Amino acid sequence: MGTSTALWSFAVVVGLLTLTPGLDTALILRTAALGRRAEAWGVVLGIQTGTLIWGTLSSLGVTALLAASHAAYAAVRLVGAGYLLWMGARMLWNSMRRHAAAEPAEAAEVRSAPGGGLRTGWRRGALTNLLNPKMGVFYVAVLPQFIPAGAPHLTMGVLLTCVHVAEGLIWSSLLVVFAGVLRGWLRRPVAQRVLDRVTGTVVVGFGLKLALGD
C-alpha cells in the first residue's frame, strides 16, 4: 500500500466515523445554537486536539498499553464516564432551572447567557475526547493497518491523524454554521430548555454506556 492510497483509504474510514452523529455532534450543536460561537469553536478545537493527541500517542505505541492493560483502561473509562455524567446532569439541571424561572410571556426571544469563551469550550472538548479510552483503542486497532511497510511509523501515523483532524474541522464548521442559521429560534427559552434536555440526555447516555461498557 502506497502513501497516497493509505491516506485516501484512511480518509474514507474516518470520514464515515466523523459523519456518524454522536457526543461530539451534540456538544457542538448545543453550544453553537445557544449563540456561543467562541465557545463552540473552542469545543471544536478541543475535540480535534484530543484526536491529534490520541493519534500521536498511538503512533508512539503508548496507547497500546491502554489497550493491553485492563486496569488502565478501566481507570480512564470510569473517569471519563464520571465527567460525562456530571456534564450531562448539569445540562438537565439547568433546563429545569430555566423552566422554574420562566416568565409567562417567554415566547418572546431573549438573549442567551454569555458562554465561557474559547478556552472554556476548548477544555470541554479536549476532556470529552481524551477521557474516552475507546478513542485510544480505535487508533491502536485501526492506525497500524494504514501505515505502509517501511514508512516512518510516527511521521505516517501523525499524517494520518491530521487527515482525521481535517475532516473533523470541516464537518464541525458545517455544524456551527447550521446551528447559527437556526439560532434565532433556538434562542427562545423553550427551545433552550429542549436543547439542554436533549443534549443532557445524550451526554448522560454516553456516560452510562461508557461506565457499563467492557
H-only helix segments in the chain: 3-19, 23-33, 37-60, 63-68, 70-101, 117-130, 133-142, 153-181, 183-186, 189-212
Cell numbers that stand for 22 in this block: 454522536
By percentage, how much of the chain surpasses pLDDT 70? 85
The sign of the dihedral angle between the CA atoms of 30, 33, 35, 39 is positive
Q: What is the dihedral of CA 142, 79, 34, 120, to 10 degrees?
A: -100
Q: What is the mean pLDDT of residues 96-107?
A: 52
Nearest-5° Cα angle at 160, 31 to 172: 15
Cell numbers that stand for 109 in this block: 426571544
Q: What average pLDDT does the chain have?
A: 82
Residues 6+ apart with CB under 8 A from 158: 52, 55, 56, 59
Nearest partner of 61 among 123, 147, 149, 150, judged by Cα: 147
- A 10 A CB-CB count for 103 gives 9
HSE-CB at 22 with a 13 A cutoff on CA atoms is 15
Helix (H, G, I), strand (E, B) or coil at 22: coil
Q: What is the mean pLDDT of residues 177-189?
A: 73
Nearest-angstrom CA–CA distance, 182 and 164: 27
pLDDT value at position 108?
40
Kindly report, residue by residue over 189-205, the tens digit of the pLDDT.
777 777 778 888 888 88
**Contact between 192 and 98 (Cβ < 8 Å):** yes
pLDDT value at position 157?
92
What residue spans define the domains of the chain?
3-212
Cell numbers that stand for 45 in this block: 478545537
Kindly report, residue by residue over 133-147, the tens digit of the pLDDT.
888 888 888 888 888
Q: What is the mean pLDDT of residues 127-135?
A: 88
Question: For the whole model, what pTM was predicted?
Answer: 0.79
HSE-CB at 20 with a 13 A cutoff on CA atoms is 7
Reply yes or no on whether the pLDDT at 53 is more than 70.
Answer: yes
Nearest-angstrom CA–CA distance, 80 and 176: 25
